[in-house]
Amino acid sequence: MKFSANLGFLWADRPLPDAIHAAHAAGFDAVECHWPYDTPAADVAAALDATGLPMLGLNTSRGDVAGGENGLAALLGRDDDARAAIDQAVAYADVVNAGAIHVMCGFASGSEAHATFVSNLRYACAATSRTILIEPLNRHDAPGYFLHTTDQARAIIAEVAAPNLKLMFDCYHVGRTEGDILTRLTDLHDIIGHIQFASVPDRGAPDHGELDYATIFGHLTGWPAPLGAEYKPGGDTDATLGWLTRHR
């Protein structure tokens, strides 16, 4: 089993290049991030080259975070901003050779928001050959987020009908909203582009909580890519990595 460190949460107190080196020292097989745009892409690429770790993915900009935004791609009247964020992510991904780009839809609802999201996803899928990911966020952490269930994501992926559009299956978000993780992993297998995990309900390390990750990781034996550790360490990241030794 291979694992990727999500540096949006792990070693988040360090500059991104230093966090990449820390993930390598800890034994991770890859890294991924949230919003790396304050760090020059060349600096990230240099750290990746030095460690030999691949960058699995990054997110599009959330927009005006202080104003309460959490993504742009489903917001009415914001197509220019949404597509600028997609272009920014594609350009950064090209420098660091990121495998995927997660397009964040934001807080919205209704048929017009759906049509806007579909249109912007078609733009993103045409803008790059890299994988484009969409991720349902749970209603507890992100109430009002447009994409909130895997069924909704599956329907959107079918409607866009682009070969590089895939589902980001986060066991934490699905666990909090839908449950039945093993069945959903099986049913959605063909459209999943990346898998992430954290404990439920506290989003901590995968060594406690409602989900039995020994069983989940066993179910995923043979998954070809590293699984993304996207949990909140609540302190020193290195002190939380006992699970990594056990499950590798």
Type of residue numbered 166: K
230 is catalytic: yes
Q: Which of 32, 69, 210, 230 is catalytic?
A: 230
Compute the distance between CA of residue 33 and CA of residue 39 in angstroms, rounded to an integer.
12
- What is the three-class DSSP state of 163? coil
135 is catalytic: yes
Q: Which of 32, 135, 159, 210 is catalytic?
A: 135
Please state, as a whole number, how many other Cβ atoms lie within 10 Å of the Cβ of residue 24.
19
Residue with tokens 């892409």: 41
| Strand pairing report for 3-6 and 227-229 | parallel
CB 12, CB 38: distance < 8 Å: no
For residue 48, what are its two tokens? 């990746």
For residue 199, what are its two tokens? 């404990």
Compute the distance between CA of residue 194 and CA of residue 171 in angstroms, rounded to an integer.
11
Task: Give kind and range of the element (H or E) at residue 21.
Answer: helix 16-26
Compute the distance between CA of residue 221 and CA of residue 244 in angstroms, rounded to an integer.
15
Compute the distance between CA of residue 74 and CA of residue 107 in angstroms, rounded to an integer.
8
> Catalytic amino acids?
135, 230
